[in-house]
Structure 1
Amino acid sequence: MNEHRPIPTNSPATDAAAAKRPSARNVGFCVKSMLRGSGLRPTRQRLALAEILYSHGHRHISAEQLHDEAQTARVPVSLATIYNTLHQFTEAGLLREVAVDGTKTYFDTNVDDHHHFFVEGANEVFDIPGHSVTLTDLPEPPEGMEIVRVDVVVRLRPKA
């Protein structure tokens, strides 16, 4: 029988950011400190978007949804700036990008080890607990390469 191996979901670079990122355990975090600790300058727009992103706890949000929330909060920001900021936060280890298909991407405020369910038609993403998924027999990576992370998105639809 094949031995089950946990799926690698974090790289050493994102592990190093673990202490700086927001979580359900540190609700009262300071976004300015979080941004500085991740190497990002706390600009007015980054601060405003971080407040919107993290004030609701862990969640999955698209750039369009964040843009709508920013408009509702009267934060003057373009959709292009939203995309740029989300990608900067992802590179800094503050968000996790979840590509559910070739055209739809969500950003997850929970960067801990876990995988995702995606409900087709409803465009809803939610977490699978961290160790609920295991893979066996991962392929050997090409010479000179190493597996950094495996992302699993389980697609769902209502039963007929």
Structure 2
Amino acid sequence: MTSEERERGSKWLDRGGLRPTRQRLALAALLVGDGRNRHVTAESLFDASRNAGEQVSLATVYNTLRAFCDAGLIREIVVDGTKSYFDTCTDDHPHFFWEDDQRLTDAPSDELEISRLPQAPKGAEVSSVDVVIRLRKV
């Protein structure tokens, strides 16, 4: 990783109020170091960290992703009950889930129109709406 990637990762962690441990810095640099948004799974980030020569366990990756979510730096997108993706773009936007290759990508939000939501039950409020559009090749 370059010093620029590490610097971007460090600033990103600072925005979330997180202490820049060695593991957090390494994972942050992989997630945002190039300045682009991405969707990752814990497993894909673990593989990327190993390929970059970082010594980070899969459990540490899971815990770090949870800390990044709690700090508001990333969003968790649950595709089904067993598969979560983590998105570095935290703005509200829909996603395409490509079933054939298990990939999550951004969908154009200007083409999505939600005209009405059901009323939240008494004592609750809608905190967010996740839209995942499943696709398969024909």
TM-score by length of 1: 0.77
In 2: Cα distance, 1:32 partner to 1:70 partner: 16
Q: CA deviation at 1:137?
A: 2.9
Map of 2:83 onto structure 1: 104
- Asked whether the equivalents of residues 74 and 87 of structure 2 are also in contact (C-alpha less than 8 Å), the reply is yes
Say if 2:25 is the partner of 1:47. yes
Q: Percent of aligned pairs with the same residue?
A: 50
Which structure has more relative contact order (CA 8 Å, sep 6+)? It is 1
Say if 2:74 is the partner of 1:95. yes
Q: Deviations over 1:102-136 (max 9, x none)?
A: 11111111112211000112101110123321223
In 2: Cα distance, 1:76 partner to 1:58 partner: 24
Q: Name the count of aligned residue pairs.
A: 133
Map of 1:127 onto structure 2: 106
TM-score by length of 2: 0.89
Q: CA deviation at 1:28?
A: 9.7
Q: CA deviation at 1:65?
A: 0.5
In 2: Cα distance, 1:73 partner to 1:51 partner: 11
- Asked whether the equivalents of residues 114 and 131 of structure 1 are also in contact (C-alpha less than 8 Å), the reply is no
Say if 2:108 is the partner of 1:157. no
Q: CA deviation at 1:144?
A: 1.9
Structure 2: 5+ residue runs without aligned partners? none
Q: CA deviation at 1:151?
A: 0.2
Q: CA deviation at 1:153?
A: 0.3
| Structure 2 SS opposite 1:134 | coil
Q: 2:13 aligns with which of 4, 24, 35?
A: 35
Q: CA deviation at 1:37?
A: 2.6
Q: 2:59 aligns with which of 76, 80, 83?
A: 80
Aligned amino acid, residue 130 of structure 1:
S
In 2: Cα distance, 1:71 partner to 1:45 partner: 12
Aligned amino acid, residue 48 of structure 2:
E
